[in-house]
């Protein structure tokens, strides 16, 4: 148990270093961050807006680090203990992937929290605000394939629970895997996951319809880009929770030898679990980040100035 605190302590030390370094004024690094965002979106930074954008990105980064540091330390400590140091020989009813999936969901919530904080601070700044023509819809910011994928994972716990109905009774109660039907757990997961998907979409809509902090349509393009980053990140919440619930239910059956479906269950849990690691790459990709620009006319007029 004591040795599991070592990696947690290393994470905390790096967290303190990141906070200290973040307090320094680094003009070149900050300018590169703005340039990277502008290149990602293929937008030109409006004159006089760079300093405000730097302040906003720095503020969001600080809040994100403040939240993720302790969470990452706890996760690393528990991961080390549960996977490498826990006493062997006892029954295991979970997939190792299960330990890391909730971390993606917590990271997404931290990014959303940093956006909310930044928006509240920015809304207190004086100056005019450009008006929107219409309020953006969720489909203006999130590609439909990702939106429907997030809704589809809500049924994974139900499918995992149905596996128990297919498995033989002797396998369900096998002492080797400590597999025991948990009707209450299954019922909670089956109801909670669709509710979580619906709640996440409500949160995404609130972020999209929140007060914008831009004086020109060009500034609004960057304001919306920061807003869309938080909206896309929130997709990790239903994915992480729903996949974790499905793995918690089905993975014991994949570890139980002696029936024909164990290999299929194990393969399915691995494929579903590993897909979660690809989601952050997709939500942070240029394809997802630039998707909302194709619908920019639905946000405001005129469109953003194109970068040369």
Rg (CA), the chain: 23
Reported as a pLDDT band with limits 50, 70 and 90, residue 304 is very low
* pLDDT higher than threshold 80 for residue 243: yes
Among 81, 109, 83, CA closest to 98: 83
Q: Cβ(149)–Cβ(211) under 8 Å?
A: no
Backbone angles phi, psi at 214, to 5 degrees: -140, 145
* pLDDT higher than threshold 80 for residue 16: yes
Among 16, 4, 114, 23, CA closest to 70: 16
Percent of the chain's residues with pLDDT above 90:
12
Instruction: Give the pLDDT confidence of 41-88 residue by residue, as tens digits.
Output: 777 888 888 888 888 888 898 899 899 888 888 887 777 776 665 555
Contacts of 125 (CB under 8 A, 6+ apart): 213
Bigger pLDDT: 305 vs 295: 295
Q: Cβ(92)–Cβ(228) under 8 Å?
A: no
The token duo for 206 is: 């609130």
> What's the whole-number average pLDDT of the chain?
78
Q: Cβ(46)–Cβ(216) under 8 Å?
A: yes
Least confident of 49-58, 187-196, 207-216, 235-244: 207-216
Instruction: Give the pLDDT confidence of 100-123 residue by residue, as tens digits.
Output: 667 778 888 898 999 889 888 888
Angle at 284 between CA 113 and CA 9, to 5 degrees: 60
* pLDDT higher than threshold 50 for residue 303: no
CA distance 224 to 301: 13
Least confident of 55-64, 215-224, 229-238: 215-224
Q: Is the pTM of this model over 0.85?
A: no
Annotated domain spans of the chain: 5-298
Least confident of 100-104, 208-212, 239-243: 100-104
Instruction: Give the pLDDT confidence of 119-160 residue by residue, as tens digits.
Output: 888 887 777 777 776 778 888 889 999 999 999 999 998 888
- The length of the chain in residues reads 308
Reported as a pLDDT band with limits 50, 70 and 90, residue 254 is low
Average pLDDT over residues 223-245: 88
Bigger pLDDT: 246 vs 201: 201
Among 31, 40, 43, CA closest to 219: 43
Cα within 13 Å of Cα(18), Cβ side: 17
């Amino acid at each position: 148990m004591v040795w599991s605190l070592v990696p947690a302590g290393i994470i905390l030390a790096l967290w303190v270093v990141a906070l200290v370094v973040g307090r320094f004024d680094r003009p070149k690094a900050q300018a590169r961050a703005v340039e990277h965002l502008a290149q990602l979106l293929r937008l030109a930074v409006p004159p006089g807006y760079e300093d405000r954008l730097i302040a906003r990105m720095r503020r969001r980064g600080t809040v994100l680090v403040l939240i993720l540091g302790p969470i990452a330390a706890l996760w690393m400590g528990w991961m080390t203990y549960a996977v490498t140091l826990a006493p062997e020989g006892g029954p295991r009813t979970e997939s190792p992937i299960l330990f890391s999936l909730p971390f993606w969901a917590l990271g997404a919530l931290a990014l959303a929290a940093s956006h909310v904080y930044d928006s509240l601070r920015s809304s207190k700044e004086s100056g005019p605000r450009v008006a929107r023509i219409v309020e953006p819809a969720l489909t203006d910011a999130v590609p439909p394939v990702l939106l429907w994928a997030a809704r589809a994972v809500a049924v994974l716990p139900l499918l995992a629970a149905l596996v128990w109905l297919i498995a033989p009774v002797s396998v369900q109660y096998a002492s080797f895997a400590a597999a025991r039907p948990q009707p209450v757990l299954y019922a909670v997961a089956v109801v909670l996951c669709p509710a979580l998907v619906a709640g996440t979409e409500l949160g995404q809509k609130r972020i999209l319809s929140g007060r914008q902090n831009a004086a020109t349509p060009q500034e609004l393009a960057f304001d919306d880009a920061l807003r869309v980053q938080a909206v896309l990140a929130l997709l990790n919440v239903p994915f992480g929770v729903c996949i974790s619930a499905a793995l918690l239910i089905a993975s014991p059956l994949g570890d139980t030898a002696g029936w024909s479906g164990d290999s299929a269950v194990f393969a399915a849990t691995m494929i579903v679990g590993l897909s979660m690691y690809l989601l952050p790459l997709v939500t942070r990709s240029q394809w997802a980040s630039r998707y909302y620009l194709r619908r920019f006319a639905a946000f405001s007029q005129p469109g953003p100035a194109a970068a040369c």
